[in-house]
């Protein structure tokens, strides 16, 4: 499923212990691939903080791509410290929930209402308020023909 792409946004609630249910399609794909955990790390898009949520195979592909890059540049070291250093392998419980580590919850201001937003082969996890703010700004950009031209679309 992850190789063919995923799409959509899925609203969920984080409970007081920091647990959140994964979207049903994500859980089903993980079960089909016999995965019992996911990888989650911090990320920032346009200055807005979120988490990236990867199935194990996609996490390994991402790590493989990073291994192919020169790791001695200060920029790559900064990125690795931020992205890889912030990563956690998180098991799924029997109800298909994950416990988001406190540091990652605090980083992305996750409490209460959250949204999983599909990114073809992984998910971003946003606080609803942060995602709504980002989407309002992105919509103006996407409606600009020059923006789409830069993407080659």
Span 46-67, pLDDT tens digits: 899 999 999 999 999 999 999 9
Indicate the domain borders of the chain.
9-127
Quickly tell me which residue has 């790390």 as its tokens: 41
pLDDT band at 40 (very low <50, low <70, confident <90, very high): very high
Give pLDDT tens digits for 69-80. 988 899 999 999
Q: For domain 9-127, give the fold.
A: Chemotaxis protein chec (3.40.1550)
What's the whole-number mean pLDDT along residues 106-124?
95
Q: Round the CA-based radius of gyration of the chain to a whole number and report it.
A: 16
Which pLDDT score, from 0 to 100, does residue 143 have? 86
User: pTM value?
Assistant: 0.91
What's the whole-number mean pLDDT along residues 123-136?
95
């Amino acid at each position: 499923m992850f190789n063919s792409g995923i799409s959509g946004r899925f609203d969920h609630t984080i409970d007081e212990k920091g647990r959140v249910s994964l979207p049903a399609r994500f859980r089903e794909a993980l079960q089909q691939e016999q995965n019992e955990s996911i990888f989650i790390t911090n990320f920032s898009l346009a200055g807005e903080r979120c988490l990236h949520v990867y199935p194990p195979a996609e996490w390994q592909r991402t790590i493989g791509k990073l291994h192919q890059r020169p790791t001695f540049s200060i920029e790559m070291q900064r990125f690795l410290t931020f992205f890889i250093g912030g990563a956690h392998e998180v098991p799924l419980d029997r109800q298909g929930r994950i416990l988001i580590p406190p540091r990652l919850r605090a980083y992305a201001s996750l409490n209460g209402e959250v949204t999983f937003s599909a990114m073809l082969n992984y998910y971003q996890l946003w606080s609803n308020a942060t995602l709504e703010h980002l989407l309002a700004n992105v919509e103006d950009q996407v409606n600009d023909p020059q923006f789409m031209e830069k993407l080659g679309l």
